[in-house]
Amino acid sequence: MSHVLERTAGYYAPLMTGCHVAFCESVDKVVENMQEASPTVMVSVPRLFEKIYARIYEDVHKMSSIRSSLFHLAVKVGREFISRRYIDPKPLGLLGLQYRFFDWLVFQKIRKRFGGRLKYFISGGAPLDKLINEFMWVIGIPTFEGYGLTETSPAVTLNSPWKVRFGSVGTPLPGTEVKLADDDELLVRGPLVMQGYYKAPEETEKVMQDGWLKTGDIARIDEDGYVYIVDRKKEIIITAGGKNIAPQPLENVLRMDKYISQAFVYGDRKPYLVAILTPNLERLIQMAQQEELDYLDMEDLVTNQRVQERYAHRLQRINDKLPSYQTIKKFILLPRDFSVDGEELTPTLKLKRKVITAKYQDRIERLYLRNGTGSDDQPQDNGGIT
């Protein structure tokens, strides 16, 4: 409740409009609580939608080949339907009938898992992957991504049923102005902007410029006024070769792999990028069972040579689609997810980059030594990816 998005969109706005409000018991019980409360609207952070997407595809992975093929065909039809209806409007024709058929056969069953009454999600707090956003629309639960800061009360932009562009955070709200500074930092002006930091005039002066708030986010604005957030200005990685790299889009790509749960990309002032990965434990354990790997615990399993080779192979497939300067050369595989309790995540499940860097600094630095290890008698985190 101390987070401004939850305070306004999840608390004040529902009370103002006479809505019932329900709060989940915990992250692990979100789906169970949704079935109990049968919500019509829900506000959350991208991590929830990533878990929903991963869970659905995990279930599909366990289906028979016929049912799995049917699901993938339904999603293919759904993506075309969403594109023609919302992105590049065209006559639907037979496609409309095909989508309604698959909605009845496939998608409505998925929606029932969330209580059966959900009209839409609102996502904020961090970037939502474009593919996941589109998928939520395909299954019949529009997910509107927005953008804002504590300093902007918080909403600055939002997608809507009439103006949606996957990958963007939407267009400015009424009365709100946005523009880009010379270095592409997003600036905001309007009645939503704070008067200043409490009893901190010097800090206020640093972020206010002629009535414009410096957001600290690098962005771009397209010809139709849709805003796209690239990354936090202070989190942009500048490699030893002078390349500017936004880590969040790369981390989103990594998290889309079925074997990866979370990812942290590092490489500021370094010759190449490395990553700390956390495994999709269900997939990893399933792999260990299929390949009959012997292990004592998860820490033992993630250091298994076959496991390391599997992750190196998965990363190579991702690297093949990236420019050379954005490829991940080496990685660390942790035995668990990043967590709030471990102080690696904020309460809104965003990475605490300074904390993660400090916590794993020694292991990260070993990835930049010649053999990826601190000394000859220490086990290396993994070999290079070639």
Q: Which fold has domain 168-233?
A: Luciferase; domain 3 (2.30.38)
Q: 186-225: string of b/e by CB count within 10 Å (b at 16+)?
A: bbbbbebbeeeeeeeeeebeebbeeebbbbebbbebeeee
Asked, colleague to colleague, whether 168-233 and 237-366 share their fold, the answer is: no
The arrangement of strands across the sheet holding 273-279 comes to 260-266, 273-279, 328-333
How many helices and strands, by DSSP H and E, does the chain display? 15, 15
Cβ-proximal residues to 173 (8 Å cutoff; 6+ apart), any chain: 155, 156, 157, 158, 192
The residues spanned by each domain of the chain are: 4-138, 168-233, 237-366
* CATH superfamily of this structure's domain 237-366: ANL, C-terminal domain (3.30.300.30)
Cα–chain center distance at 374? 32
Among residues 10, 106, 128, the alpha carbon closest in space to that of 60 is found at: 106
- pLDDT, residue 375, reads 34
Contact present, 322 and 358 (Cβ < 8 Å): no
Structure tokens, 338? 């990043």
- pLDDT, residue 373, reads 40
Q: What is the full per-residue pLDDT of the chain (386 aa) written as tens digits?
A: 788 888 898 889 999 999 999 988 887 788 899 999 999 999 988 888 988 898 899 899 889 999 999 999 999 999 999 999 998 889 999 999 999 999 999 999 999 999 999 999 999 888 899 999 999 999 999 999 999 999 999 999 999 888 889 999 999 999 999 999 999 999 999 999 999 999 999 999 999 999 999 999 999 999 999 999 998 999 999 999 899 999 999 999 999 999 999 999 999 999 999 999 999 998 999 999 999 999 999 999 999 999 999 999 999 999 999 999 999 999 999 999 999 999 999 887 889 999 999 999 999 999 998 654 433 333 345 555 54
Q: List strand residue ranges (DSSP E) for the chain, in order.
A: 41-44, 120-123, 143-148, 155-158, 171-172, 177-180, 185-189, 208-209, 212-221, 227-232, 237-238, 244-245, 260-266, 273-279, 328-333
Owner of token pair 């050369």: 329
